[in-house]
Chain A
Amino acid sequence: MADAKSFYVSVVTPEKAVFEGDARFVAVPAHDGELGFMRNRAAILAKLDVGRLRIDTEAGEETFFVDGGFVEMIDNQLTILTEDARRAEELDREGAEVLLAEARAMKDRGEGTTAQRERTFKRARTQLRMLR
């Protein structure tokens, strides 16, 4: 339970709450690099990048894949808003490879903007890296 070093973390998507509970340390993939959070961090609102989210709880470490979004920390309440978040254990290799193939196909067809393509690539690669 909550002790002197922990703070409340929730990871929510439009579909569901993926994680809710206390943590001692959280590392989020912010838009300009990884950002670490501990108790009593000053209030912040930051944009997230596609990447790996790590939550250290008393029970152990949990990792998630997050697809961009935002992070807010205020009064020892950390909220991560993202449009897609999945536990590392829930990722599947096939899905990630399909995504990578799709990203390549997008590039070949010259579909979408560069930013969109980059994002799809990043999504696929992050997932594959996390599966390794």
Chain B
Amino acid sequence: MANRRVLVKRRKASRNIRKITRTMQLIATARFQAAYSAAVAGRPYTDKLAQLVGNLARAASGIDHPLMHQPESEKRAAVLILTSNRGLCGGYNSNVLRKATEHLDELAGRGVGCETHMIGKKGIGFFGFLGREMDSTDAEIGETVRFEKVEPLANQLIERFTAGEIDAVYVAYTKFISTARQAPVVEKLLPLEYEAASAGETGTAAQYEFSPDPQSLLSEILPATVRVRLFQSFTDAAVSEQVARMVAMKAATDAAEDMIKRLTQQYNRARQTQITMELLDIVGGANALA
């Protein structure tokens, strides 16, 4: 029967798909591990830097730095959106983009002029499709994020912020909370918000020798904080992307498996029906002869 052949064909197709998605899942797993260890490797630096800022702030009795100046009113803001270069990662890109668009609309609603800096081919494609404006695009920073690539971008933002060209910088990316949880977030990169709580315990009132004086050290350390924060957003996004792809490909493989099972069942049933029908034919013929 023709029906049977169709079923065989579809089953074969599903098997091929399963093979591909499983491979992609395995690749994503390997990439995730690499991205994860890269993200973790940067933690000591970030933690130490935050601790130093805390120590310095105490020594300098308060911080006063251009990067922390809250402008009286936000007039122009830069929004960085981190998306991936490749697809097939479930809702990863659409989640960040939705969050980012909401934020952009909210800023525009408050009368803040926005400039959008899009990172990643997927986001560029999406905004292009919507006909939204992008002030800069970058599809170069790939899955393996190098600090030296992020640094110029951060420096440029710092410069423009200090010059007063922009009043705020936001970063929209997917934060990696755990392997089971990643959340699209919009974080404020500039002006820096100093959290006394995260700056280390108050107990370590170490008597430091400072060279040069705390205030000028601080003015060196804060830009470094901004740079590393931005870098961390990139590494977080890279890790989240791989997790999203892992999950998406796992789901696809499972779905293909279900499909194969169902098709096999249908195929067997069709075969059995055909045999039964043929038997009935034979029996009917024999009866007619008798």
A2 contacts the other chain (CB 8 A):
no
| Separation of A11 and B287 alpha carbons in the complex (Å) | 93
**Inside 8 A of B207's CB, which chain A residues have their CB?**
43
- Please, what's the 1-or-0 string for B141-159, where 1 marks a CB less than 8 Å from any CB in chain A? 0000011100100000000
List CB contacts (< 8 Å) of A27-45 with chain B.
30-32, 42-45
Contact pattern, A 84-125, Cβ under 8 Å of B = 1, otherwise 0: 100000000000000000000000000000000000000000
Q: B118 at interface (Cβ–Cβ under 8 A)?
A: no
> Smallest CB-CB separation from A82: which chain B residue?
B45
Q: A81-B48, A83-B147 are in contact. Are A15 and B208 (CB under 8 A)?
A: no
Interchain CB contact under 8 A, A45 and B45: no
**Docked-complex contact A46 and B48, CB < 8 angstroms:** no
Chain A proximity of B51: nearest CB distance (Å): 9
| Inter-chain contact A16/B41, CB cutoff 8 Å | yes
Q: Are B217 and A47 in contact (CB under 8 A)?
A: yes
> By the criterion CB–CB under 8 Å, are B49 and A81 in contact?
yes
Q: In the assembly, what is the distance between CA of A114 and CA of B188, in Å? A: 30
A79 CB-CB contact with B under 8 Å:
yes
Closest-CB distance, B28 to chain A (whole angstroms): 22
Please indicate the chain A residues that have their CB under 8 angstroms from the CB of B221 in the complex.
70
State in angstroms the CA–CA spacing of A132 and B212 once bound together. Answer: 31
CA distance A73 to B13 in the complex (A): 63
Known A13-B147, A15-B38, A83-B151; contact A43-B45, beta-carbon cutoff 8 A: no
Contact in complex: B209, A15 (CB < 8 Å) = no
Interface assignment of A72: CB less than 8 Å from any CB of chain B: yes
Contact A44 B211 (CB under 8 A): yes
Do the beta carbons of A72 and B52 come within 8 Å of each other?
yes
Q: Which A residue's beta carbon lies closest to that of B159? A: A113
User: Interface size (B, Cβ < 8 Å)?
Assistant: 31
Which of these, B48, B56, B146, B211, contacts A12 with CB under 8 Å? B48
How far, in Å, is B163 (CB) from chain A's closest CB? 12
A27 to B36, CA, bound (A): 33
B44 contacts A10, C-beta separation under 8 Å? yes
CB distance from A117 to the nearest CB of B (A): 14
Q: Verify B211–A15 contact, CB threshold 8 A.
A: no
The reply on A74 being an interface residue by CB < 8 A is yes
B contact residues around A69 at 8 Å (CB): 224
Bound Cα distance from A117 to B216, whole angstroms: 21
- Set B55, B210, B211: member contacting A32, Cβ < 8 A: B211
B228 at the interface (CB under 8 A from A): yes
Q: What residue in chain B is nearest A42 (Cβ atoms)? A: B209
Tell me if B55 and A13 are in contact (CB < 8 A).
Answer: no
Cα–Cα, bound, A14→B227 (Å): 9
In the assembled complex, A131 has its CB within 8 A of some CB on chain B: no
Contact status B52-A12, CB under 8 Å: no
Shortest beta-carbon distance from A26 to chain B in Å: 16
Q: A31-B211, A43-B207, A45-B56 are in contact. Are A14 and B231 (CB under 8 A)?
A: yes
Q: List 14 A-B contacts (CB under 8 A).
A: A14-B228, A16-B41, A17-B41, A17-B44, A43-B207, A70-B220, A70-B224, A72-B52, A74-B208, A79-B48, A81-B45, A81-B49, A83-B151, A84-B148
- Smallest CB-CB A-B distances: 10 pairs: A46-B211, A16-B41, A44-B209, A12-B45, A12-B44, A14-B42, A14-B147, A43-B208, A14-B228, A14-B231
A32-B212, A70-B217 known; 15 new pairs, CB 8 Å cut-off, are A12-B44, A12-B48, A15-B147, A42-B209, A44-B208, A45-B52, A45-B211, A46-B210, A46-B211, A47-B217, A69-B224, A70-B52, A70-B221, A81-B49, A83-B147
